[in-house]
Structure 1
């Protein structure tokens, strides 16, 4: 029997509650789906969580994207991979008809790039996206997003991103009429030591989607 797209990504779930918007977590490079479970635990939210593993092996973990040797992005491959992930999310929604509302994506680093790519590919599948330390997945802006809420959390001293990477993505999304909230945290590429990644994400989810 052919494998459906809902079987094509290894994932774990925490279906604590089917009420409201489920949260789909996309981890960073060289990491795994367990990062998403840890992130949700830090948010202390009573919500369903889906923790997806990137399907590219990298170092001792996994990634949602592969970079070129010069560290640039392969936009064509990202678009193809985003299409596969969008199919997975679509089929996952069909398998969970008790989901009251569409999911919200939360992506970190390469997971944020892939979450952003879903905004380019199939924004109708999701209610919004939180992008932590992102970078644009495309040279062109997406099609109209019609007020889709997007949170960008950039690091003031991010050593793995160009200084204008998040600002460039913000412009692309605003030109597509997304509702963008961009917060620059006093941190590098990694998690802010003061917990502001969790605080900002939790506040945005509460204010935007009434998730608590």
Structure 2
């Protein structure tokens, strides 16, 4: 495992199974570049792992973009940070010789991954979004051309309203994504069922 900066502080774990696509690991609020590495190893053994730290601090806690309140996003910052993250992915692909990664994001990380799908879809081969929300009120009209996306929502999630998750799924489908949306009997945190479904989905895609 190596630590480097490029335009984002990050961890990189080289592949031991070159047949697997790399994973882009995107942590939730208050996480860092090490948070989702165990999850990445569990759901995609042998895949290269690229795990950046969010560049925004909220009361000392890393995030990928600013918010104005719980569930209320600074959309100008969402767009700016999504483009910055896409540029980092380009840098990392050149540095490490990577194919386009599949994003695996949780909460705030899932939200920035959804923004990447709308704003810079060419940098991702697909995405697994754990407990995401709609990141932009008026998403761009870019086409995702069958890009595979898995959304895993929690029926008892106190942070993400069911309507919001459903709206995100609808908009990604309208943009052309090959979308699977599952709602699990869970809260906001990932469960073993999330890990099992993610592992199965990654193996199939």
- Is 1:62–2:59 an aligned residue pair? no
Alignment of 1:152-167 (within 5 A): 152-167=151-166
Work out whether residues 104 and 128 of structure 1, in 8 Å CA contact, stay in contact via their aligned partners in 2: yes
Partner of 1:72 in structure 2?
72
Deviation at 1:137, TM superposition (A): 1.4
CA RMSD of aligned residues (A): 1.6
Partner of 1:200 in structure 2?
197
Work out whether residues 146 and 178 of structure 1, in 8 Å CA contact, stay in contact via their aligned partners in 2: yes
- What SS does the corresponding residue of 2:182 show, helix, strand or coil? strand
Unaligned stretches of 5+ in structure 1?
Answer: 1-5
Partner of 2:40 in structure 1?
40
- Is 1:16–2:23 an aligned residue pair? no
1:58-112 residue CA offsets vs partner (Å, 9 max, x unmatched): 3453111221046411111100000000000011111223x3x321001000000
Deviation at 1:151, TM superposition (A): 0.5
Deviates more, 1:58-67 or 1:197-206: 58-67
Aligned residues: 199
- Is 1:124–2:117 an aligned residue pair? no
1:96-132 residue CA offsets vs partner (Å, 9 max, x unmatched): 23x3x32100100000000011011111111101100
Work out whether residues 79 and 121 of structure 1, in 8 Å CA contact, stay in contact via their aligned partners in 2: yes
- TM (norm. structure 1) is 0.88
Structure in which a larger fraction of residues adopt strand: 2
- TM (norm. structure 2) is 0.91
CA distance, structure 1, for counterparts of residue 70 and residue 38 of structure 2: 32
Alignment of 1:127-138 (within 5 A): 127-138=125-136
